[in-house]
Amino acid sequence: MKRTRLESETGNTHGRRGPSLPADALVIFGATGDLAHKMIFPALYAMARHGDLNVPVIGVAIEKWSLAQLRKRAQDSIRQAGKIADKEALDRLLSQLRYVDGDYNAPATFTALRQALGDARRPAHYLAIPPHLFATVIQGLGTTGLADQARVIVEKPFGSNLASARELNAIAQSVFPEDSIFRIDHYLGKEAIMNILYFRFANSFLEPIWNRNHVASVQITLAEDFGVKGRGAFYESAGCLRDVIQNHLFQIVALLAMDPPAYQGYGAVHSEKAKVFQAMRPLQPDDVVRGQYAGYRDEAGVAKDSDVETFCALRLFIDSWRWAGVPWYLRSGKCLAATAAEVVVALKPPPQKLFDDSVAGTNYLRFRISPNAAVALAARVKRAGKEFVGDQRELYLLEEQPGEDPPYQRLLSDAMAGNGALFTREDAVEAAWAAVDPVLETHHRAHPYQPGSWGPKQADALIAADGSWHNPAPTRKEKNENHATTA
């Protein structure tokens, strides 16, 4: 009998299950921080506008603020994010706010939180705090009974290597059932990322060619044209490999490489994604090119002799039946030539060269993730005339669609409802760390590169055996906008 979405949730290692009912309160640890200001309060306002937030919202932080200060902070955050189009929704959100100040190590803070929760019995605790405080807060919730029938939403990074991820998982699972632990990667909440999963399995024409027999290589680029923006101290503790590739780009790899789920439901998707991470060949130093943009060492909080990478490119292999021998090239960096995220799946050329102008790697499928979403298929078509010569053209299957929910709005709404589809599971997190663990400390030195470039030239050598990097170009919409601006 076909399994349904309701049967798709995975079990947990403790034989316990989390609450199946929606959360009746949202607790935000770190409510006075930058993440809350930039992302969380605008998401809460959007949830209130859509009727998805009708419960108390309790902010917790070490600052000795009044409730009025928190409300002002929330209002400023929402204003900066855009026009306040629904005053009633804003007033409703502000009226739901409560505030608790205190040290996360002090039992009194959690006692005060219990009082602020009032009659709420199924809170969702969101940890928008520095990673070194995750364990402290989770254990505090457990000790004071605030984890009973509750959920915990953990912001990335979930660990800094395999050992720390295992340790944090063990702590979290000693307090919460696995299906009550929601590990956030906000990239999974993007519409364009969700469309990769849909596009792959809603269409039958892809499956016959989506394997090592027809795919030559896969490239994934996530580029930013700005630097660390005053977050030098954070970047010194993370670097590009930990900050972007091990989570964001690996999640894209999993969606592209996974086998079809066995049934309709997010539990099956999680299982197939985990298999991809488990099949990743552990990286070696020669698989990785690290770079650092000129000027990074002048940032506040950065060591004058820092070797932390602000750019990382790597060659990855997935040792599965479907993908054996296919190279996956991933790169990300700051101060690059553009801000864009894109996937290019290059297909193998026809087995016989029938036309003089045939070139290798002419067919590809391109997923544009940002700044404007697109799905495009590249193919060669003949020019008019007697000669058998042609040009490469892209067939656009999708361009930017209006009405996309911001990632944090979607993720927080899902976590409150208990829907784990867009979150990551314990085994997947640990398997992803296992793939990068060998090169976190043992690696070649970072190569310098100039801001505005596409990174160090050594990254070109990494991919040379399979061609060159596909640098994201403007979409048709962007080209039209640029033409209108210059006309």
Catalytic residues, which ones?
248
d(CA 319, CA 282) in angstroms, rounded, equals: 10
Secondary structure string (H, E, C) spanning 11-68: CCCCCCCCCCCCCCEEEEECCCCHHHHHHHHHHHHHHHHCCCCCCCEEEEECCCCCHH
Structure-derived torsion over alpha carbons of residues 242, 440, 254, 375, reported in degrees to the nearest 10:
60
Q: Which amino acid is at 220?
A: I
Sequence-ordered list of residues with C-beta below 8 angstroms from that of 34, at least 6 positions apart, any chain: none
Cα separation, 235 vs 302, whole angstroms: 8
Give how far Cα 266 sits from Cα of 194, 233, 279, 346, 433, Å: 12, 37, 20, 28, 22
DSSP string, 147-177: TTT-EEEEPSP--SSHHHHHHHHHHHHHHS-
Beta carbons within 10 angstroms of residue 454's beta carbon: 22
With contact defined as beta carbons under 8 Å apart, do 123 and 150 qualify?
yes
Would you tell me how many other CB atoms lie within 10 Å of the CB of residue 405? 17
Q: 131, 112 in Cβ contact below 8 A?
A: no
Q: Can you say how many angstroms the Cα of residue 304 is from the centroid of all Cα atoms in its chain?
A: 30
Q: What would the 3-class secondary structure string for 319-369 be?
A: CCCCCCCCEEEEEEECCECCCEEEEEEEECCCCCCCCCCCCCCCCEEEEEE
Please report the beta strands in 165-309, taking only residues with DSSP state E, as ranges in sequence order: 181-183, 215-223, 288-293
Please report which helix (H) or strand (E) contains residue 317, including its range. Answer: strand 311-317
Which amino acid, 487? A
Cα atoms in the 13 Å half-sphere on the side-chain side of 167: 11
Cis peptide before 56 (omega within 30 of 0): no
User: How many Å separate Cα 220 from the centre of its chain?
Assistant: 13
CB 419 within 8 A of CB 153: no
